[in-house]
Chains A and B, each alone.
Chain A
Amino acid sequence: MRNLFSFLTAILMASSTIAQTIEVCKTCPISSIKDAIIQAKDFDTIIVKKGTYKEHDILVNKPLTIIGEKYPVIDGELKGEIITIISDNVTVDGLFIINVGTSYTEDYAAIRVRKSKNFLIQNLVLEKLFFGIYIEKSRNGKVFHNKIIGDAVEEYNSGNGIQLWYSKNVQIEHNFVQHVRDGIYLEFSDDCLIKNNVSTLNVRYGLHFMFSNDDTYQDNTFENNGAGVAVMFSKRIKMYNNIFKENWGTASYGMLLKEINDGEIEGNTFEDNTIGINIEGSNRINYKQNTFINNGWAVKVKGACYTNKFTENNFLYNSFDIAYNSNVNDNEFDKNYWSNYTGYDLDKNGIGDVPYRPVKLFSYIVNRTPETIILLRSMFIDIIDFSEKVSPVFTPDDLLDNNPQIKKLTW
């Protein structure tokens, strides 16, 4: 035991002699972060004291730990990129970064990680930014507990909050992103985990996936974004327990799925969206135990969607439950609860005795002539919907939920 203790102290002593701590403050010998990085050796820790540092183009080219004490402000004065990390094993913690330069030719970011491994970016506050945290060609990193508040108004002159490009195995957790173009954007990035983030009030998408496979996103909240969340051209994406709320507008979706194959969508809540999920060309996806409340269209299926399964979902008070634009169907609906279901359950097994047809004729009419939406819930529409229900002509004949639940599902 004593041996072990002395061994540990020896290691501690050794490491403290190797890794030094450099302090940066206005009155210290080293008063800028750039100088500190030049003076630092590998694996040193730089502590930035409270104050305002007017610096940009800070290049972190050795494995360092940069920690801010009481949120020192790094002001880029709108001159360009602020911190660029090109070394492995870098930690950046507790900084307040403002005034990133805007450019139409280069993507200036508050903090950029380029071709690095094992990075950790945490507890940052970013304001007045173009791009926030930009991770390119990097792997095995973590972006944790950052707050990104932009002031984006237009799509063309604003950047994304957290952007991943050709990166692998990155964890994005507990971040808060607001008022940027895309809250979180992944392109060509595989095996990432996006968890417990809140992305709201963004100009375009709360979360945006392009060509990224095998990613998981769970327990996130996406609220009031210009166009909701878009997941495109990706395979094997898992989406669990997210909340999609109040994405209103003509081209606004809780979630847009385009060319997504073999995904899993489970336990999510879609509330008050114009369109809950918009599906285009997506196959073999399991939708399970999701809740759709008060959406205009809970699920809008736009063709080329095969072998999707909707089981045990709650469809509550949506204006339209499911909308199709053709009368071909290869998707399966089973054991869902539909608040619009009007059947009965005589054998009292909790399953309605009459199958439910979730697609209404009126949704076809609205699809063709959008102005007719104004006749929603009119008695005439109820009558034609009823006659279509009795003998389907325009809606897919086999689109049925054979086991509609009588009571709302709880898990």
Chain B
Amino acid sequence: MLKILKYSFYDLIRSRWSYVYFSFYLLLGSVLLFLNNDLSKAVITLMNVIIVLVPLIGTIFGVMYYYNSKEFTELLLAQPLKRSSIFLGQYLGVAISLSMSLILGLGIPFIFYGLFKSSAIWDFSLLLITGTFLTLIFTALAFNIALSNENKIKGFGYAILLWLFLAIIYDGIFLMSLILFEDYPLDKLSLVGTMLNPIDLSRTLILLKLDISALLGYTGAIFKQFFGTSFGLIVSFIMLTAWVILPVLRIVFKSKKKDF
């Protein structure tokens, strides 16, 4: 698996798209800092960008990579190699190279701007951690979609739909259902609803850091326990990890059964 991971990783590192992605974040980070002159405000803006953009790029890139390297995969399948290690290797190759672009692209301008001397360092590292988690999750989801769809167009369509659903539509439905059932106690439902969407989950993680004073304005005891203590942070991380593991397990499972 490690060998395949290494090949995919080097292949991707040398590819044009990684550089584009890397330089995009580099540019974004430097421009934000240049315009804002304020680390903590730049972190807030970045959060908005990361939560939307990282999943989008993760899905598209994952699907694209799978379809592009299909011939190479078929060649590998002819060799005496475990199927799970082929696909996991490819998956990790994509996910790690994307995460690296994100971390380096954003990290470099912030470090040059004096991140280590600033109090925003924890917020920023939380941002990078959630960014990495989102990459891992959405690349895995993309591989799932690609594995289940032979048709490229269909695969891309589903990938974009998935992103659109989790990034926007889900919140819309969530909001409508909260308003619709406002006569009932909703704090449990709203927390569960958040857990079921990785984008919402990482948004909550960052909210815990940035908007804690607003979140504590709500009356519910469960809310208070969730947001007021480290309980929320721990549960969110466990859920994010679950969101990585489940799709990866499905990749393993699906790839074993699939006919090529």
Q: A297-B214, A372-B175, A380-B172 are in contact. List 16 more A-B contacts (CB 8 A).
A: A248-B213, A252-B216, A295-B214, A297-B217, A365-B175, A365-B179, A368-B179, A368-B182, A370-B217, A371-B218, A371-B223, A373-B215, A376-B214, A377-B206, A379-B168, A382-B48
A274-B213 in contact (CB<8A) = yes
Chain B contact residues: over half helix, strand or loop, or mixed? Answer: helix
Residues 225-249 of B at the A interface (beta carbon under 8 Å):
none
**Contact among A252, A317, A365, A377 with B203 in the assembled complex (CB-CB below 8 Å):** A377
Interface size on B, residues (CB 8 A): 41
B190-A371 in contact (CB<8A) = yes
B190-A296 in contact (CB<8A) = no
| C-alpha gap A60/B194 in the complex (Å) | 65
B191 CB within 8 Å of chain A: yes
- Closest residue to B36 on the A side, CB-wise? A339
For chain A, the bracket of interface size reads 20 to 34
Q: Which of B8-16, B39-47, B62-70 contacts A (4 or more CB under 8 A)?
A: B39-47
B182-A373 in contact (CB<8A) = no
Residues 352-393 of A at the B interface (beta carbon under 8 Å):
365, 368-383
B160 CB within 8 Å of chain A: no
Residues 181-195 of B at the A interface (beta carbon under 8 Å):
182, 186-187, 189-191, 193-194
| Residue-wise interface mask of A (90-119) relative to B, using a CB-CB cutoff of 8 A (1 in contact, 0 not) | 000000000000000000000000000000
- Closest residue to A339 on the B side, CB-wise? B41
Contact of A250 with B217 at beta-carbon distance under 8 Å, contacts A378-B200, A378-B203, A383-B168 already known: yes
B213-A296 in contact (CB<8A) = yes
Q: How far is the CB of B27 from chain A (nearest CB, A)?
A: 20
A375-B213 in contact (CB<8A) = no
B204 CB within 8 Å of chain A: yes
Q: Which residues of A contact B220 (CB under 8 A)?
A: 371
Q: Which residues of B contact A296 (CB under 8 A)?
A: 211, 213-217
Interface residues of A (CB under 8 A from B): 248-250, 252, 272-275, 294-297, 317, 319-320, 339, 365, 368-383
Interface residues of B (CB under 8 A from A): 40-41, 44, 47-48, 51-52, 167-169, 171-172, 174-175, 178-179, 182, 186-187, 189-191, 193-194, 200, 203-204, 206-207, 210-220, 223
Q: Which residues of B contact A376 (CB under 8 A)?
A: 207, 211, 214-215
Residue among B169, B172, B211, B217 having the largest count of chain A Cβ atoms under 10 Å: B217
A378-B217 in contact (CB<8A) = no
Q: How far is the CB of B126 from chain A (nearest CB, A)?
A: 14
A370-B218 in contact (CB<8A) = yes
A294-B213 in contact (CB<8A) = yes
A317-B40 in contact (CB<8A) = yes
CB-defined A-B contacts under 8 Å, sample of 20: A249-B217, A250-B218, A274-B217, A295-B214, A297-B217, A317-B210, A369-B178, A369-B186, A370-B218, A371-B187, A371-B189, A372-B175, A373-B218, A374-B191, A374-B200, A374-B207, A376-B211, A379-B168, A380-B171, A380-B172
